[in-house]
Amino acid sequence: MREPLIHSSPMPGLGLSMGITLTMLSLVVLAPIGALVAQGAVMGPEALWAAVSRPRVLAALGLSFRLAFFAATVNLVLGTLLAWVLARYRFAGRRLLDAAVDLPFALPTAVAGIALTALYAPSGPFGAVAAGFGAKIAYTQGGIFLALMFVGLPFVARSVQPVIEEIEREVEEASATLGASRLTTLTRVIWPMLMPAALTGFALALARAVGEYGSVIFIAGNIPMRTEIAPLLIVIELEEFDYKGAAAIGLAMLAISFAMLLAINLVQIWSRRRIGDV
């Protein structure tokens, strides 16, 4: 018989699973991010600010976050609509539509980039139509916006859809028996229930769009100050061996992203508290 041991749990594999988890997390994620933070610490706040406050950098950061925010906002609307249609209606082709929503997750960004460019360039089928109206999509900020919408499309839909499926019909029926119109029910009863999940999707789409590179660079045109996104500027600085400049932009992106995600989290906590856990 063994000596009495102090176990916290009889479940096997504590040491092994904890060891693998923490080791991998440290090696793959924390050490590299730590290297970036360390680089920033070595540079100091003044050098960081000097690197970030260059006009070209500010323009790129502004463009990235502005377009990512617009794209995520449009996705908030379109994604909720898609989720509603997929969860509530039965129609021919629903399964196809349901599977297609996930394609931007599965399709490599470089493939999406060249495909969107082929479609929306002035010589492409959609670009030609736009050109007929005197509009240009590819190689403008409109093209970047389109690519960011593409990569963010599934996030809101996939966050909201399960929530819609779980809403009890009786809640809506109650609203109807109380004399509310359908529109009132949707805006006053349904939307508040969907909002936390929709915001989660919005945050994910935003984070993804801010950092997106592959699908954007082909369609963007990449003109400094006009259509040059922040990740591309990092790549350019690295190719010029300006590690400090690249690190400064990278840190600025991380800091702004986290500040935005924190703000979204606070809104979420606020809306959850208001309506309780749904």
Partner 1 sequence: MHIDIDEIAKEFGPTTALHPVSLAIPSGALVALLGPSGSGKTTLLRILGGLEFPSSGRVLFDGQDATGLSVQERRAGFVFQSYALFRHMTVFENIAYGLKARPRATRPPKAEIARRVTKLLDLIQLPQIAQRYPSQLSGGQRQRVALARALAIEPRMLLLDEPFGALDAKVRKELRQGLRDIHDETGLTTVFVTHDQEEAMELADLVVVMSMGRIEQIGRPQDIRAHPSTPFVKSFIAA
Partner 2 sequence: MSELTLVRHPAVTEAPPARRVLIGLAFATLALFVFAPLAVVFAEALAKGAGAALQSLASPDARAAIRLTLTVAAIAVPVNAAFGIAAAWFLTKFDFPGKAFLITLIDLPFSVSPVVAGLCLVLLFGANATLGGWLVASGHPVIFALPGIVLATLFVTFPFVARELIPVMVEQGRAEEEAALTLGAGGWRVFRTVTLPNIRWALLYGVLLANARAMGEFGAVAVVSGKIRGQTATMPITIEMMYNEYLSVSAFSLAACLSALALLTLLVKTLLERLHARRTQG
Query: 10 to 49, contacts with partner 1 by CB under 8 A?
Result: 10
Decide: is 177 part of the binding site for partner 1 (CB under 8 A): no
Enumerate residues 55-74 that contact partner 2 by CB under 8 A: none
Q: Which does 213 bind (CB under 5 to 8 A by kind): partner 1, partner 2, none?
A: partner 2
Decide: is 5 part of the binding site for partner 1 (CB under 8 A): yes
* SS3 of residue 3 by DSSP: coil
For residue 104, how many other CB atoms are within 10 A of its CB? 18
Give the position of tokens 């923490």.
Answer: 22
Q: How far is CA 6 from CA 10, 12, 19, 142, 174, in A?
A: 10, 14, 19, 63, 55
Integer Cα distance of 20 and 28 in angstroms: 12
Q: Contacting partner 2 (CB under 8 A), which of 1, 5, 7, 8?
A: 8
Q: Which does 5 bind (CB under 5 to 8 A by kind): partner 1, partner 2, none?
A: partner 1
Least spacing, CB of residue 16 vs partner 1, in Å: 16
Of 195 and 249, nearer to partner 2 (C-beta) is 249
Tell the burial category of 139 from Cβ atoms under 10 Å away from its Cβ (0-12, 13-18, 19+).
buried
Give the single-character DSSP code of 224: T
Q: Which does 112 bind (CB under 5 to 8 A by kind): partner 2, partner 1, none?
A: partner 2
Q: Which does 128 bind (CB under 5 to 8 A by kind): partner 1, partner 2, none?
A: none
Of 3 and 170, nearer to partner 1 (C-beta) is 3
Enumerate residues 78-117 that contact partner 2 by CB under 8 A: 78, 81-82, 84-86, 88-91, 93, 95, 97-112, 114-116
Decide: is 6 part of the binding site for partner 1 (CB under 8 A): yes
Of 4 and 134, nearer to partner 1 (C-beta) is 4
Decide: is 273 part of the binding site for partner 1 (CB under 8 A): no
Give the position of tokens 């508040």.
Answer: 192
Least spacing, CB of residue 4 vs partner 2, in Å: 18
Least spacing, CB of residue 110 vs partner 2, in Å: 4
Q: How far is CA 168 from CA 47, 100, 160, 180, 275, in A?
A: 56, 27, 15, 17, 15
Decide: is 135 part of the binding site for partner 2 (CB under 8 A): no
Decide: is 29 part of the binding site for partner 2 (CB under 8 A): yes
Q: H helices of the chain, where?
A: 14-24, 31-52, 55-88, 94-100, 103-106, 109-120, 125-132, 141-166, 169-177, 182-184, 191-211, 214-220, 230-239, 243-275
- Footprint on this chain of partner 1 (rule: CB under 8 A): 1-10
